[in-house]
Amino acid sequence: AMETAGWEAAVPAEWVPVINQDIGRQRRQAPQGGLSDAYLAGMPPKRMKLTQ
């Protein structure tokens, strides 16, 4: 309860239940595995160099 105190006021009321549900979903979310070549091809060119 502590960690959610306050932020709700900064967003439209109808977003709050969605965001709360997403906070829960993100906790259970599996860590992102490796990314496909197709996805990585969309990176800015200079970043491609850095990630290799």
Question: Which residues bind to other proteins, rule: CB under 8 A?
Answer: 7, 10-11, 15, 18-19, 22-23, 25-27, 29, 32-33, 35-39, 41-50, 52
Min separation Cβ 27 and other proteins, Å? 7
Residue 48: both structure tokens together: 């491609």
Q: Taking the complex as a whole, how short is the minimal distance between the CB of residue 2 and other proteins, in angstroms?
A: 14
Supply the minimum distance, in Å, between the C-beta of residue 1 and other proteins: 15
Residue 15 host element (H or E): none
C-alpha separations of 18 from 35, 42, 48 in Å: 27, 29, 34
